Structure 1
């Protein structure tokens, strides 16, 4: 029954002229201290690019540069002396030894170059995938970074164990190339750990999972 003119509406009845609330629709106005539907903070709003995501991109490039630099000493250090001694013990003639050393040297350079290109290709895949805000690139980078960190730690432990047993590791830390290689390996380990910290950040994960770029 509609209220008469000047009469307050009865309990449970909407005021005259006010729209009735839809019991199945979104709530009108704020609820429990949260903004109303359609306000600035909407549920499911796109995630803006976090600062740690930009840091992640920079760390990706830095890790790639360190990987490239750490591969340079391998072009100048070799085991020619040890190989020559082994071939001499095997009874090979000087001509045969020289031919074998040339072949092994070429094969070694090809192997280093191929490994370097594959590694840089993976870095490019992760970097440009992240630039396109692809979550698979973050996952791939996480897997590669974990493998690199674990490999570095195991390499250090194995080197310490072999050195403790008095075995020659073929490392000369007194030479500039040896020192450069050790410093680059340590720097790469630190950068990869920082990369993992940023990659596991919840804001970065949410941003890459949405699959599209949103300016901050």
Structure 2
């Protein structure tokens, strides 16, 4: 399933609703067993009271995983440096070299698919193993992370995906050498996590601590 919606008046309404509900790449390994277990629990629920009690948490867990792995369609604005993640701005810090780091914390309730902040070429992608700190902890910078270096018309942009305490699995969707568009999906972080974007030298941030942002839609920079 893709973002594109088939044209034509006969099926436009139906396909729009379908195309706007999709699951993240890399989620099948979690969703298929969860819903398989749920189906088995529902069958068992028809046979006994104990089965019905077991079915409730199974359905709840499957629904929670489905919500977590949702991947909504986004429409990027025509210009600007976009947020790479859904969530809340945790920090906006001057790095001392003319760049500003914007850290976005992603709770388990947020969409966890990450997107490219600009049209770019992926120059480098480096995976670093790490610890188990919660993503909202400052020391989470030592957790498992993937550091992206993006070549853009506005200069090099660094993006860092940081895994949280649970599962700690980062799934890149593109590889070094690939060209990506603004707002294009570039990867997934499973469960609580954080994404940092380093604005190019001299670019003034347009967001503040505590602000809620959406990947591929919210601008991080000022005009």
Please identify which structure carries the higher strand content: 2
Larger Rg: 1
With the length of structure 1 as denominator, give the TM-score of the two structures. 0.29
With the length of structure 2 as denominator, give the TM-score of the two structures. 0.28
Q: Which has the higher contact order (CA 8 A, sep 6+)?
A: 1
Please identify which structure carries the higher helix content: 1
